[in-house]
Amino acid sequence: MKKSTLDKLSPGLQKLIVPDDIKAVGTLSANIKGSSAPVSTFAERTLLHCNGGSTMEAALWLKDHLMNGGKLVITLAGALSSFQIGVVLAELIRKDKVHLISTTGANHEESYYRYVAHSHYANIPRYTELTPEQEAELRDAGLRRITDTFLPEDESVRIMEPHLLRMWQEAQDKNEKYFPHEYFRRLFEEKLIQPDPQANPDDCWTYAAFEKNIPIIVPGFEDSSMGNIFASYTYDGPHKEKGRVVLDGNVMKSGMEYFHLMADWYMKESKDASIAFLQLGGGISADFPICVVPFLKSDLKVDGKVRDWEGFIEIGSSPMSYGSYSGAGGKEKITWDKLSTESYYQIIQSDVTVAFPWIAAVLLDL
């Protein structure tokens, strides 16, 4: 038989190459079988190259990981909750595909805001054409623009503020302290808020997490609307509003305590299962929890072996560049001991709202 041009390559390079007529489903694991579900089947036939191919490969790897008893940490950046990521994320939580979520304070609270004020949200597809004067008009009306979506502050943030303020005051009176997400969860537990008539409660990922009691990590809580409000109630400086009640900031557990929670959770859960990391966007929600492995190894110096992250997948639009941590590749994380040389890694250069639903569809076998 005549040799192929590919046969001229070195053995090392040949190992990296997959024949173009092999579907993505055949490139990862013999344990992964092609799906018979329509959406997944379509994805397997069409998401073959570039970012589509990276998305499909990551989805299949995660499917295999979960099928073999692995666990999954998902991190949420940007304004994904305002962009209704709960439609797919809540279902993944209900189907036991997600085991811990690390989220910005904004994403966390905005899941609640969508729950109570869904019908008051608005969308402006041609947002780039707004003038500064129109932006100011939106501001004065209390509509906070997030790309193409308006968050209605009066019907969301200000509806929940009195309930949370009462909880903070009670905690101070009892000399107690809780995590930010624990205060928020009481809104569900004590039935202090009701879903907007036009909202589907099944689309609220924080409600799904509450029902499943899965851990939530909220690093940098103060960088959010309710975090700002909490900071205003604990401020006792020269610019304090006259007559304003000042709360003890210690009623809120800190980021340091969140990190301790993350470390304890990781050590417990990784005893019997490998743990994968799916990063949706960049920033603190991902940078914070991925550090738990080197922390346990090098800083806490835990006795015995600390299991490495089994895999790392990032979906983001930030390109790899000088000093751009959000765009740092998987290999760079090896140098920080966040991943091992055996860890699976995949970077998907795409908008989360485009790529993540495909991954969710594969995991849910749709």
Cβ of 184: how many Cβ atoms within 10 Å?
A: 26
The Cα–Cα gap between 275 and 79 comes to 25
State the average pLDDT for the chain.
Answer: 90
pLDDT tens for residues 205-229? 999 999 999 999 999 999 999 999 9
Q: What is the pLDDT of residue 241?
A: 85
8 Å CB contact between 58 and 276: no
Strands 216-217 and 275-280: unpaired
Confidence of residue 324 (pLDDT cuts 50, 70, 90): low
Q: What is the pLDDT of residue 31?
A: 45
Is residue 140 left, alpha or beta, with left meaning phi > 0 and alpha meaning psi from -120 to 50?
alpha
What is the CATH superfamily name and number for domain 105-214+222-253? Deoxyhypusine synthase (3.40.910.10)
Interior angle at CA 193, CA 188 and CA 198, nearest 5: 110
Segment 164-170 mean pLDDT: 97
Structure-block tokens of residue 272: 């019997």
8 Å CB contact between 263 and 217: no
Sign of CA dihedral 253, 255, 259, 262: positive
Q: What is the pLDDT of residue 43?
A: 85
pLDDT tens for residues 228-256? 999 999 999 989 888 888 899 999 999 99
User: Is residue 37 pLDDT above 90, yes or no?
Assistant: no
pTM of the predicted model, to two decimals? 0.90
8 Å CB contact between 358 and 352: no
Q: What is the pLDDT of residue 330?
A: 73
Q: What is the pLDDT of residue 1?
A: 47
Q: What is the pLDDT of residue 278?
A: 96
Q: What is the pLDDT of residue 29?
A: 45
Q: What is the pLDDT of residue 48?
A: 85
Domain locations along the chain: 29-68+255-366, 105-214+222-253
The residue type at 70:
G
